[in-house]
Amino acid sequence: MRKEEIYEMFASDSIEEIIKRIETADTGVPNWERDLKPQYDPMEHAIMKDLIKYPPKLDDRGQDEFKRTPLGLQKLAVKRVSQSMFATPVYRTYTYDNDQEQQRKAVELLETLYKVENSIDSTNIERAKSLNASCQIATVWWAREQEESHFLGTEQTKWVLGHKTYSPKDGYKIFPHFDEYEELTLIGIGYENTKKQDVLDVYTQDMYVRYVRVEEWEEEEGSRRTLEFMPVVYMQTSEPVWGGLEGTAIVEQLEEMESYQGLYIKSNSLPTFAIDMGDTAGKTKSVTSEKSTDRRRLIQLGKGGSVTDVTWSGAGESIEARYRRLRNAFFEQIQMPDISFATLISSNTSAENKELVFADAKQKAIDLGGEWIRFFKQEMAVVKMFVYTIFPSYRAAMEQISIRTELVPYDVKSEMDTAEYVNVAGSSMSLGTRVRLLGAVDDVQQEVEAIQEEGRAMSNQGIL
């Protein structure tokens, strides 16, 4: 939706028509309630809900004896991939003039507001979970004034910068609209308020307005206000990280195997006793009946009778092997190692090969990271505009700062491994790169300057 179309819509359409046009956003993203939630939530899986495909096994009390076993592997995939991407904090490189004190302070303000005040490292993991599950997120940034002032670094202010992320996974509906250059021009965020009324918050590049449906849609009084820029950053993916229906098909087979095996084990694990009835005219007598409510079973035999287990001896091994193959297929599909406790205990993978195990996971994180880099670029632009709105004197300095964001996938290397690597290859790196790789401090530039200052001091004293 181009800017001209937005102006025209608000100028000429009725509120009902405006809402209708906003909610007709076509993103191509799978619907959360209809398509994704039944896959993501293990209690919504077919093994739990589809009583035609998996009919109840009723006992004489009318209770279902079928051992329905849901597996939350889709939810596990979301957590594993998100943690692989953001367990190590995102690294930001600021390019600015080191000799300009104002620019250095501007960078400090950015990091304080973004990383410290907004706990962005924790937010990134939660945002990744929401995106990887529901395929959509929108983060809204705002600044509000408080009665009491506080310090941000060396600057005092009454303003607070905040943000909130919305996703269908948390019950929100997102309706993004873009222009011909794929720039976000309007976004609607729908939800239900505490009064059980439908609400739609609408953001454009120069306006915010809230609509509420009591009986009909109406504009909330006093909600409309002018914006200087679009304060929302949006991202979407085409499918969830578990591979959508392809991954769910594997999980359904695992659940079916576990459930039927549970029923079989219950049926065949009861105490069973064979009773010799003595001579019964040379005939074998066997009287036994099986019920799901049995607590034990009696098998009556005549003289010379016998009870033999004729179950296929390879059944258990075959089922276990197939279960492992299916589980491995699921994790291979999502490009994540199965690092459950049971797998690690039974694995003989050496410590030296751990990095190879996680190689595919790192590639998965890098692959998904492309859209995140674009997202962070847009987000930092929004945060910068808020910073020099709060601190107008820093506007010129802030505009001269460029920011590059780098995702750092989870690495199993220990601190000692990293230290040895830096020690061996350090001559080919700058001091700043070495400090960053070691990861012992947050402010790399400040640490570099401290090391250089200590070096100069020691040189002047003739120690070096």
| Whether pLDDT at 292 is above 60 | no
- As beta bridge partners, residue 402 has 95
pLDDT mean over 45-62? 85
- What pLDDT does 443 receive? 67
The pLDDT tens digits of the residues spanning 199-220 come to 999 999 999 999 999 889 999 9
Residue 30's contacts (CB-CB under 8 Å, 6 or more residues apart) are 36, 135, 239, 240, 244
CA dihedral 365→371→372→375, nearest 10 degrees, is: 180
pLDDT of residue 316: 67
Which residues, at least 6 apart from 184, have a Cβ–Cβ distance to it below 8 Å? 176, 177, 178, 230, 232, 233, 234
* Residues 207, 9: Cα–Cα separation, whole Å: 13
d(CA 84, CA 363): 10
Position 457 scores a pLDDT of 76
Contact 127, 90 (CB under 8 A): no
135: left (phi over 0), alpha (psi -120 to 50) or beta: left
Answer yes or no: is pLDDT of 305 > 90: no
| 78 and 129 Cβ atoms separated by less than 8 Å | yes
Predicted pLDDT at 355: 59
Q: Is 103 helix (H, G, I), strand (E, B) or coil?
A: helix
Q: What is the pLDDT of residue 274?
A: 66
172-195 pLDDT, tens digit per residue, is: 999 999 999 899 999 999 999 999
* Phi, psi values for residue 251, rounded to 5°: -60, -40
Confidence class for position 243, pLDDT limits 50, 70, 90: very high
d(CA 97, CA 104): 8
Task: Name the more confident of 438 and 164.
Answer: 164
Cβ-based neighbour number of residue 351 at 10 Å:
8
Question: Residue 375: pLDDT above 80?
Answer: yes
pLDDT for the residue 120 = 96
Q: Residue 320 — very low, low, confident or very high, per pLDDT cuts 50/70/90?
A: confident
Terminal CA-CA length for the chain: 65
Query: What's the pLDDT score for residue 31?
Result: 95
Spatial separation of the C-alpha atoms in residues 137 and 174, rounded to whole Å? 8
Between 183 and 432, residue with greater pLDDT: 183
Q: State how beta strands 272-276 and 225-226 pair.
A: unpaired
The residue among 119 and 261 whose pLDDT is bigger is: 119
The Cα–Cα gap between 28 and 49 comes to: 27
Q: Are 360 and 338 in contact (CB under 8 A)?
A: no
Question: What is the pLDDT of the chain when averaged over all its residues?
Answer: 83
Angle, CA of 362, 383 and 173, to the nearest 5°: 75
CA dihedral 263, 266, 268, 271 (to 10 degrees): -170
Q: What is the pTM of this model?
A: 0.81
> Between these two residues, 430 and 297, which has the higher pLDDT value?
430
pLDDT, one tens digit per residue, over 146-157 is 989 998 888 899
In 3D space, the residue among 304, 333, 159 whose CA is nearest the CA of residue 245 turns out to be: 333
> In which band, very low, low, confident or very high, does the pLDDT at 343 lie, cut at 50, 70 and 90?
low
Task: At 378, list the tokens.
Answer: 């847009």
Q: pLDDT digit string (tens) for 448-459? A: 777 877 777 777
295 phi and psi angles, rounded to 5 deg: -105, -20
Q: Which region, left, alpha or beta, applies to residue 183 given φ > 0 means left and ψ of -120 to 50 means alpha? A: beta
- Helical residues (DSSP H) of 207-358, grouped into ranges: 245-268, 315-333, 341-346, 354-357
pLDDT of residue 153: 80
What pLDDT sits at residue 260?
A: 84
DSSP secondary structure string for all residues of 60-90: TTS-B--------HHHHHHHHHHHHHHSSPP
Q: Tokens in use for 437?
A: 């790789």
**With 70 as the cut, is the pLDDT of residue 314 above it?**
no
DSSP letter (8 states) at residue 168: G
> Residue 405: which pLDDT band, with cuts at 50, 70 and 90?
very high
φ, ψ of residue 152 to 5 degrees: the values are: -115, 100
Q: pLDDT category, 409, cuts 50, 70, 90?
A: confident
Give me the mean pLDDT over the 354-361 stretch: 62
Answer whether residue 313 shows pLDDT above 70: no
Mean pLDDT of 406-420: 70
**pLDDT number for residue 64:** 75
Q: In terms of DSSP H, where are the helices of 44-167? A: 46-49, 73-86, 101-111, 120-134
d(CA 110, CA 386): 10
Torsion of CA 128, 134, 136, 137, to 10 degrees: -50
Helices within 391-464 (DSSP H only): 395-399, 415-425, 431-438, 444-460
Residue-wise pLDDT tens digits, 221-239? 999 999 999 999 999 999 9
Residue 178 forms beta bridges with which residues? Answer: 184
In the chain, % helix, strand, coil (3-state, to 5) comes to 45, 20, 35
- CA distance linking residue 206 with residue 117, whole number of Å: 26
